[in-house]
Amino acid sequence: MKTRIRLADDTDAKAVLDIYAPFVCGSPVTFEVEPPTVDEMQRRIGSTGERYPWLVCVGENRALGYAYASEHRTRAAYGWSVDCSVYIDPRYCRRGIARGLYTSLFALLRLQGFFNVFAGITLPNAASVGLHEAIGFKAVGVYRAVGYKLGAWHDVGWWQLPLQAPLCEPPSPIPLARLARDGSWDAAMRSGLAILQI
């Protein structure tokens, strides 16, 4: 099966959960403490995908990883900024999948008209910090001892990547469904494929 990056849908929920659940149970990478159900993961993919891209990298008859954007904050003035997350099946680390997913994700976010993307990283996490800084994120601050999980308090560092130069009077971001009909969609989606090493 050819490796590809595409929008996730509810049929990907089980595969996405299989990647995510070990991070929930065995690490502070995510501050969830109980893995969600398949139904809940379907809900998350569906509700996120109404406005923001949720991408999955598929190859070798399985999901290799996924990445998505989500709301940064609820107040209206934050509407041009998003948060991002990426999770990779540990069997496929160091093959460019995270970078490839992010490349496609950020290309779509630019087309939608978003201006900033933020990543929160539980510290220490040299691999995640290295990934984000290698693609241009800059550290902007640390929330000290903000989360308690697995018997310890954890810091969360925040990194920022500008997607494009700020504009006065920016138009509202384009809904994802409308963007999918744009001719630039396919090129944005394919942009991460060249980075994959699989």
Please report which confidence band the pLDDT of residue 181 belongs to, taking 50, 70 and 90 as the band edges. confident
pLDDT of residue 123: 98
pTM of the full structure? 0.96
The pLDDT assigned to 66 comes to 98
Mean predicted confidence (pLDDT) in 165-190 = 89
| Average model confidence (pLDDT) across the chain | 95
The three-state DSSP-derived secondary structure of the chain is CCCEEEECCHHHHHHHHHHHHHHHHHCCCCCCCCCCCHHHHHHHHHHHCCCCCEEEEEECCEEEEEEEEEECCCCHHHCCEEEEEEEECHHHCCCCHHHHHHHHHHHHHHHHCCCEEEEEEEECCHHHHHHHHHCCCEEEEEEEEEEEECCEEEEEEEEEEECCCCCCCCCCCCCHHHHCCCCCHHHHHHCCHHHCCC
Q: Which residue segments constitute the domains of the chain, with CATH numbers given?
A: 4-167 (3.40.630.30)
